[in-house]
Amino acid sequence: MCTVVALIRPLHRYPLLLAANRDEHRKRPWDSPAPHWPDQPDVVAGRDRTAGGTWMGVNRAGVVAAILNRAGTLGPAVGKRSRGELPLQALRYPNAEQAAAAVGRIDAAAWRDFNLVIGDRHGAFFIRGLGHGQPSVEPLPDGVSMVTAYDPNDMASPRVARHLPRLRQDLPDGPDDWAGWRTILSDRSGDVGEQINVVPRGDFATVCSSFVAVPAVGRTTWLFAAGPPHEAAFRPVDLGFKP
């Protein structure tokens, strides 16, 4: 179970802020965000070496996309495509609205159940794939939304119930002012289902963390921790796309 938190403020200088922890098997190899795909030079994303896709990325236009499993669907399945393909598909589009509409037209039966968050400076969308038919697409409301393996802001998720009120009490202003959220992303306390920074259980744990700030005008900022956020430093990702 991963976590994505989106703060949407249309009139703010940073209309979209997105924070995320990736929970994964620690032995599954991955590469930090970079332009890994020659056929998509306008995309910077983390790369899963096993399946070749990504869990999160941004494009030159300021679109950000992040994929999560739904409850009970961790890992690959025979006959199903990698969910890591879906953010890369979304990042082919110049805005979040077009990207969400395109993902909403796919055959969800080709993938295991998924949650996908797509956003830009104009807002964000939640896409739910349930393994049949076409995915559902809905805009995320203004304010803070938290997505785990459940629907947005679903208090049936112990993680949401524990941390969403905290996230709403300490809103970051931008990439230079998000210490409160960074503290929450680093929190390893609570029962297993509540932990936003998952303490290792066998080979499974939180393996990296991100904070993305999409401005109303200018270049997106991505701060990335290449390890659990309580111990790995957040460093800027190079988003200086080639001309």
Degrees, nearest 5: CA angle 81-87-89: 75
pLDDT at 131: 93
pLDDT band for position 78 (50/70/90)?
A: confident
Query: From residue 79, how far is each of 105, 111, 119, 209, 238 by CA, in Å?
Result: 20, 9, 29, 30, 36
Q: For residue 167, is pLDDT > 90?
A: yes
Model pTM? 0.97
Nearest to 50 by CA among 83, 13, 95: 83
Q: How far apart are CA 212 and CA 6, in angstroms?
A: 9
The whole-chain average pLDDT of the chain stands at: 96
Domain ranges of the chain: 3-236
The pair phi, psi for residue 29, each rounded to 5°, is -75, 150
CATH of region 3-236, choose from 3.30.750.24, 3.40.50.720, 3.30.420.10, 3.60.60.10: 3.60.60.10
Beta bridge partner(s), residue 208 = 22
Counting residues of the chain whose pLDDT is more than 70, the rounded percentage is 99
At residue 234, φ and ψ (nearest 5 deg) are -85, 120
> What is d(CA 122, CA 216) in angstroms, rounded to the nearest whole number?
8
Confidence of residue 114 (pLDDT cuts 50, 70, 90): very high
CA gap 198, 196 in Å, rounded: 6
Q: pLDDT at position 135, please?
A: 98
Give me the phi and psi of 156, to 5 degrees please.
-70, -20
> Measured between alpha carbons, how far is 243 from 42 in angstroms, rounded to an integer?
9
Q: If DSSP codes are grouped into helix, strand and coil, which group holds residue 229? A: coil
User: What single DSSP character describes residue 67?
Assistant: E
Using alpha carbons only, what angle is made at residue 150 by residues 107 and 46, rounded to the nearest 5 degrees?
A: 70
Query: Per-residue pLDDT for 128 more than 70?
Result: yes
Q: What CA–CA distances, in Å, run from 80 to 72, 113, 162, 203? A: 15, 10, 33, 23
Q: What is the pLDDT of residues 37-46, one digit of tens each?
A: 999 999 999 9
Q: How confident is the model at residue 75 (pLDDT cuts 50, 70, 90)?
A: confident
